[in-house]
Amino acid sequence: MTGAGEKKERMDEPDVNGAEVPRQGKGRSDWVTLILIPLVIVIIWLLENYLLAGNSHLFRQASLLGLVIYTVLSGIVVGILVPVVRIRAAFLSGAVNMFQIGFRSLRRTVAAASLTALVGYAGFVLMSMTGQDLDRLTGATLFILLLPTAIAAVMICWVLVGTHVQAYVRSGGVVISVFTGVLLTALVFAVSMSALYATADFREMFVWFFALGCVAALFFFAVRDIYATIIVVTAGLIVLQNSRIDPAYLAPFNPVVALCGILSTGVLVGIHGYFSRHYTTVMIPGK
């Protein structure tokens, strides 16, 4: 029996990762809840990315007010809160669980994020050794600047779309589930980042964004940790976009940039805490 106000998920059978495969509905309702609704959210997010950042070249022409508006509306409201509402409904219907969306225990989260950050820092040091003009302070500021975008991208592309698409095609087997999840989420990521940054070299950047999306998707589906995946995506965006960011954002300490990063991270951590308190996956042996 659970404590007051606490809900427990019940799953039917374990999957290959040792996690539970949830009960699934059939037919038209599955298509609407697992495909159509996430697709509508993706379209709204894409439009916001273009209207709030891509169309105004927000990251190439500094606007601190524009950065705040973009972070709140696209990064937090549609990028985090709206997916959470959908994910909560998926919890209640048994379509997804805590393991699948990447919200793990505190110890597991700290270990995965720390190891990923260490590898990322080693890559940053190697970049500096090859002569790329990106000092540590600038790299840290870029990380904070791009963090809200990475958080929203991971929430939309993999926590929302990835888990829902995999739930929809899971009956086809692990290979189909992973292949479909990687391909579709990488495509969504590439389109969204292309709309967000709206560069002149659209085709070349689309290919690079798609490649980063594939790497992030494989990483997320293998590790299933949202924070570690956010670090991977942020580091990838730094590599791809550092030369395209307006230097005005990269002052030694820009309070607006720091505020946006803190706001997005704080909302994500608060949501993780909410799910951890109210939802616990219960292992049930397969029949």
Q: How far apart are CA 245 and CA 249, in angstroms?
A: 8
The residue with greater pLDDT, 116 or 5, is: 116
What's the mean pLDDT in 162-169? 87
Q: Which residues of 236-269 are buried (b: 16+ CB within 10 A; e: fewer)?
A: bbbbbbbeebeeebbeeebebbeebbebbbebbe
113, 105 Cβ separation under 8 angstroms: no
Tokens standing for residue 73:
């509306």
The residue with greater pLDDT, 190 or 136, is: 190
Q: CA torsion 214→216→219→222, rounded to 10°?
A: -70
**What band does 24 get if pLDDT is binned at 50, 70 and 90?**
very low
pLDDT digits (tens, 9 = 90+) for 104-126: 888 999 999 999 999 988 887 77
pLDDT digits (tens, 9 = 90+) for 233-285: 999 999 899 888 999 998 778 899 999 999 999 999 999 988 888 766 554 44
Question: What pLDDT score was predicted for residue 280?
Answer: 63
User: What is the CB neighbour count within 10 angstroms for residue 202?
Assistant: 12
The residue with greater pLDDT, 36 or 199, is: 36
C-alpha to C-alpha distances, 16 to 163, 170, 177, 206, nearest whole angstrom:
15, 11, 12, 33
Angle at CA of residue 282, ends 227 and 91, nearest 5°: 60
Tokens standing for residue 232:
């991977």
Question: What pLDDT score was predicted for residue 259?
Answer: 96
Residue matched to tokens 């970049």:
127
59 residue type, one letter: F
Tokens standing for residue 206:
């689309």
C-alpha to C-alpha distances, 81 to 65, 233, 244, nearest whole angstrom:
21, 19, 29
Question: What pLDDT score was predicted for residue 167?
Answer: 83
Across the chain, mean pLDDT equals: 83
Instruction: Concatenate the DSSP letters of all residues of 117-177 into one string.
Output: HHHHHHHHHHHHHTT-S--HHHHHHHHHHHHHHHHHHHIIIIIIIIHHHHHHHGGG-HHHH
DSSP 9: E
**What band does 15 get if pLDDT is binned at 50, 70 and 90?**
very low
SS3 at position 58: coil
Query: What is the pTM (predicted TM-score) of this model?
Result: 0.85
Question: What pLDDT score was predicted for residue 278?
Answer: 74
C-alpha to C-alpha distances, 155 to 89, 114, 193, 194, 226, nearest whole angstrom:
15, 20, 14, 17, 8
